[in-house]
A and B are shown apart, each in its own frame.
Chain A
Amino acid sequence: MRITQGCFSFLPDLTDEQISKQVQYCLANGWAVNIEFTDDPHPRNNFWEMWGLPMFDLRDAAGVLMELTECRKVYGDRYIRLSAFDSSHGWESVRLSFIVNRPKEEPGFRLERHEVEGRNIRYTTKSYAVDRPEGQRYGGS
């Protein structure tokens, strides 16, 4: 399967040149770009690990791309995404978020159904990958 979180998951994987243009768009809007990674891509896992702090005061997308290259060297077998934060009043949240790195194999999720009273069902989404210990979930580094 292919996890379709983020803004561009239905397009072919973005090249570094395409990523760079998106980052430049964020910086031009005054947003701080953050690199985040995880091996637990559950749709409700909001808090991916941060690769450093959001890059405030950056002017040039090249800085983000350099950090992304470093992050890929360490966590290239995991999901990596870029998130852009807008601090302006009335928003104060993420403005753009998209995946820039995926594991080679994406095993996806199973849906567990817990049948309760009446015809009600309690649903739980479980990632196949998290059955394995952290760090060994996608071929492990």
Chain B
Amino acid sequence: MNEHASITIRGKDRYKSGVMEYKKMGYWEPDYVPKDTDIIALFRVTPQDGVDPIEASAAVAGESSTATWTVVWTDRLTAAEKYRAKCFRVDPVPNSPGQYFAYIAYDLDLFENGSIANLSASIIGNVFGFKPLKALRLEDMRLPVAYVKTFQGPATGIVVERERMDKFGRPLLGATVKPKLGLSGRNYGRVVYEALKGGLDFTKDDENINSQPFMHWRERFLYCMEAVNKAQAAAGEIKGTYLNVTAGTMEDMYERAEFAKQLGSVIIMIDLVIGYTAIQSMAKWARKNDMILHLHRAGHSTYTRQRNHGVSFRVIAKWMRLAGVDHIHAGTVVGKLEGDPATTRGYYDICREDYNPMRLEHGVFFEQNWASLNKMMPVASGGIHAGQMHQLLDHLGEDVILQFGGGTIGHPMGIQAGATANRVALEAMILARNEGRDYLHEGEEILAKAAMTCTPLKAALETWKNVTFNYESTDMPDYAPTASVSL
């Protein structure tokens, strides 16, 4: 589709009153070469029947930057051509009739420094409700270094988190306290103590544990910190529990965060639903107060999961790395929640690498230079257990937090035993990997051998031996690893 030359109307005729096609207004510029400082967005556009894909894509560029539905003379008071987003490429999506990938470049001056709210108000603002489109999805973004450098980035980062926690060479282990609702503060602290003493590094509040009638937040914080300190003394190693400070107002969140700090917690937690600005504020607070900041991605599936409409999680991951959180839930591959291996790999690379090459087979459409912004620790949580340790290590690597909630608390011999089973399985797998063994294929054997000197692991393997979640993913890359389809 790129054989089209520019059809932009220039000069006086461009500003005649009335309605003009977007592709003639300067929002379709197939000859445009994006500048290094441009932000580039890739949208999956599904035009309404009969709508020209080029016009639809130009409209997306227009509606996400300067355009309105009609020509306005006031454009002539500005450097309008600079501020117009320019769609410079439209490709049909492989094997998806009626869908098109539209590449759109935005001049950096369209955006305020260091504000995800401002970025998203343009890129995913009005345009997603635009009538000539059946559906629209923001697939990926290329963020120029000049823009990346206006953000704080993760408050702590993977390396400093490991130094502070004194944990090197293996994934960290966590668990979400269950049942997620209904426990009193005292009972809740019991679960934290048992899990940490048994061998986990972290326990975690769930996304919807805030301050409810059954447990006021101060009760939770006080009992949790008793549990953390007691377990830390029992094990002689650093422990932590993510205290969820999510609340109805910023004032309440700051109050909770201050209390967590006063109690000596190393980590606090927030939910994605608090909004981008609140997340950036908490990231600043965390940097200032030496606190690790965990983000639960509550709510994201409402807009990330369907392939034709919404925002890809890879974009959310990029925004959150800019916004400055230290941990982000990014999928397990083998667990109970959505995520195919290739797409998940793409998310993990976005969290952890300083440079992402273009990897279409992982759904990564642009190279991205992170310019030494701190790395963000991905968290794998939801339906995983000790018997999958070799697969988890293979898919997710070493810099990850593996959270076994049910897989710890549901252990037949109790919570401590559940925690110990996970830790022993993990250490045995790391030992084997470092020794150069083919741990992925010998995984079951490695676990069985470790279980010979660890009864809790033996029981865990027995209890969950055939538990898998094999369902087809709803969101996968459009390009296979061996694809000959060229862009």
Listed in ascending order, the chain A residues whose CB lies under 8 Å from chain B are 1, 3-5, 7-12, 14, 18, 21-22, 25, 41, 43-44, 46, 83-84, 89-98, 108-111, 119-123, 125
B229, B234, B423: the one within 8 Å of A10 (CB): B423
**Taking the complex as formed, is B431 at the interface, i.e. its CB lies under 8 A from any CB of chain A?**
yes
A8, A43, A93, A96: the one within 8 Å of B237 (CB): A43
Q: Please choose the segment from B35-43, B54-62, B166-174, B359-367 that sits at the chain A interface, where 4 or more of its residues have CB less than 8 A away.
A: B166-174
Nearest Cβ distance between residue A41 and chain B, in whole angstroms? 6
Listed in ascending order, the chain B residues whose CB lies under 8 Å from chain A are 159, 162-163, 166, 168-170, 199, 222, 225-226, 229-230, 232-238, 262-264, 354, 372, 375, 420, 423-424, 427-428, 430-431, 434-436, 450, 453
* Closest CB pairs A-B (n = 3): A96-B169, A3-B236, A123-B229
Nearest Cβ distance between residue B92 and chain A, in whole angstroms? 38
Q: Is the CB of B229 within 8 A of A1?
A: no
In Å, the complex CA distance between A108 and B354 comes to 40
Q: With A11-B424, A43-B237, A120-B262 known to touch, is A5 a contact of B166 (CB < 8 Å)?
A: yes
A1, A5, A122: the one within 8 Å of B234 (CB): A1
Q: Is the CB of B354 within 8 A of A90?
A: yes
In Å, the complex CA distance between A84 and B234 comes to 26
Using Cβ atoms and an 8 Å threshold, which residues of chain A touch B427? 7-11
Kindly list 4 other residue pairs between chains A and B, CB separation below 8 angstroms, not including A94-B162, A120-B222: A1-B234, A1-B235, A121-B226, A125-B229
In Å, the complex CA distance between A8 and B354 comes to 29
Q: Is the CB of B169 within 8 A of A7?
A: yes
Nearest Cβ distance between residue A17 and chain B, in whole angstroms? 10
Nearest Cβ distance between residue A45 and chain B, in whole angstroms? 9
Using Cβ atoms and an 8 Å threshold, which residues of chain B touch A94? 162-163, 168
Nearest-neighbor residue (CB-CB) of B230 within chain A: A111
Nearest-neighbor residue (CB-CB) of A12 within chain B: B453
Q: Is the CB of B434 within 8 A of A11?
A: no
A10, A98, A111, A125: the one within 8 Å of B169 (CB): A98
Nearest-neighbor residue (CB-CB) of A20 within chain B: B435
Q: With A12-B453, A92-B159 known to touch, is A109 a contact of B169 (CB < 8 Å)?
A: no
Q: Is the CB of A8 within 8 A of B166?
A: no
Using Cβ atoms and an 8 Å threshold, which residues of chain A touch B229? 111, 123, 125
Q: Is the CB of B169 within 8 A of A18?
A: no
In Å, the complex CA distance between A69 and B239 comes to 32
A18, A110, A121: the one within 8 Å of B431 (CB): A18
Nearest-neighbor residue (CB-CB) of B374 within chain A: A90
Q: Is the CB of B434 within 8 A of A21?
A: yes
Using Cβ atoms and an 8 Å threshold, which residues of chain A touch B162? 93-94
Q: Is the CB of A91 within 8 A of B159?
A: yes
Report which residue of B168, B222, B424 has the largest number of chain A beta carbons within 10 angstroms of its beta carbon.
Answer: B168
Nearest-neighbor residue (CB-CB) of A11 within chain B: B427
Using Cβ atoms and an 8 Å threshold, which residues of chain B touch A9? 237, 427
